[in-house]
Amino acid sequence: MNKYESLLNKNDFTREEIIALLSPTTKDDHELLLEKAGMVRNETIGNNVYFRGLIEYSNICAKNCYYCGIRRGNEKQGRYTMTDQEVLDCAKFAYDEGYGSLVIQAGEVSSKDFTDKIEYLLKEIKKLSNGKLGITLSLGEQTSDVLKKWFEAGGHRYLIRIETSNKDLYARYHPNDELHSYDERLRALNRVKDNGFQTGTGVMIGLPRQNVGHLADDLLFIKKFDVDMVGMGPYIESDDTPMYEDRNILISKKDRFELSLRMVAVLRLMMPDINIAATTAMQTLDPVGREKAIKAGANVIMPNLTPVKYRESYLLYEGKPCLDEEAEKCKGCIMARIKSTGTVVALNEWGDSNHFFKRKNSDK
């Protein structure tokens, strides 16, 4: 057994050990890591994969993040907001098809009209599904009052990605103003947890000027924050963003993808009982990227329910897949893809994070 293999038998790592795991010197070691993470997932939380039907509600955003295709300053981007009926039709499809859960995602907006509308939609989704659809929100930084309303209306999981835990890198990727504060991002993440949500975060992998040490720190940040779920994947540049200028200093897309797989795998070793998403960005860089992420320890997948007419307007990055694929076809495709990984699609289940319930019980 070599030094790399011996590390795989641990679940508590130093920063240097995480760097070593993220930097295998052979293809065999890379494959051993992914295989080990899949085994740990199966042994800890089982081999179920949970659906989160994705509703990309609106691409209107108050933020101007330098990497994002729907940033406020992108004047080439047409804007949309789904109608109430379109959202409810998506929710009914998810309910009828046994998805178990939804994700409502949008650009970051905090106006009263927006927050009231989300509260209304949450209540209506709960009504039409007889309370049986779980709901994850990914709607950015909000006040405690808003989060409390949304939680009481039926949201119970919330994802707010930090994108990078390094304050200096964060400043490189965002404007220097009150709307893009690293410290406020952390406070917003804490507010989510304080208001009872299963709490999620995530990072981008392969950002310009980011190194493997930064990524090790990201994983340690995620563990220290004690999150319940994670969505992370490769950084993919968009030509309508300021960071497109840095495209020539990026590592290759293949390397970004493989590094992302190792990030998923190492996180699964570090936090065996959390939910980890096989993100769409994985499939963007590899035709079977989400399947590979599942084999590497992920256990959540997000079929896109957004009406096709809106999908080209919700391009956070280049090359996003399934832009013209209706929800029904998308479901059949993903079911077949998941089956190929040797895991099981768990229909009609919320698939909540085991870690969340352990964390809540330990707080009592």
**Three-class DSSP labels, the chain:** CCHHHHHCCCCCCCHHHHHHHCCCCCHHHHHHHHHHHHHHHHHHHCCEEEECEEEEEECCCCCCCCCCCCCCCCCCCCCCECCHHHHHHHHHHHHHCCCCEEEEEECCCCCHHHHHHHHHHHHHHHHHCCCCCEEEEECCCCCHHHHHHHHHHCCCEEECCCECCCHHHHHHHCCCCHHHCHHHHHHHHHHHHHCCCEEEECEEECCCCCCHHHHHHHHHHHHHHCCCEECCEECCCCCCCHHHHHHHHCCCHHHHHHHHHHHHHHHHHHCCCCEEECCHHHHHHCCCHHHHHHHCCCCEECCECCCHHHHCCCCCCCCCCCCCCCHHHHHHHHHHHHHCCCCEECCCCCCCCHHHHHHHHHHC
Q: What is the Cα Rg of the chain in Å?
A: 19
The whole-number pLDDT of residue 339 equals 87
The whole-number pLDDT of residue 362 equals 79
The whole-number pLDDT of residue 302 equals 93
- Give the CATH number of the domain where residue 247 resides: 3.20.20.70
Report if residue 177 sits inside a domain.
yes
Report if residue 135 sits inside a domain.
yes
The whole-number pLDDT of residue 51 equals 95
The whole-number pLDDT of residue 66 equals 98
Report if residue 344 sits inside a domain.
yes
Report if residue 75 sits inside a domain.
yes
Report if residue 2 sits inside a domain.
no
Domain count, the chain: 1
Report if residue 5 sits inside a domain.
no
Range of the domain at 212: 11-363
Report if residue 65 sits inside a domain.
yes
Under 8 Å between Cβ of 180 and 174: yes
The whole-number pLDDT of residue 360 equals 86
The whole-number pLDDT of residue 361 equals 85
Report if residue 217 sits inside a domain.
yes
Tens-binned pLDDT, residue by residue, of the chain (364 aa): 789 999 998 889 999 999 999 999 999 999 999 999 999 999 999 999 999 999 999 999 999 999 999 999 999 999 999 999 999 999 999 999 999 999 999 999 999 999 999 999 999 999 999 999 999 999 999 999 999 999 999 999 999 999 999 999 999 999 999 999 999 999 999 999 999 999 999 999 999 999 999 999 999 999 999 999 999 999 999 999 999 999 999 999 999 999 999 999 999 999 999 999 999 999 999 999 999 999 999 999 999 999 999 999 998 887 777 666 676 767 777 888 888 899 999 999 999 999 999 998 877 6
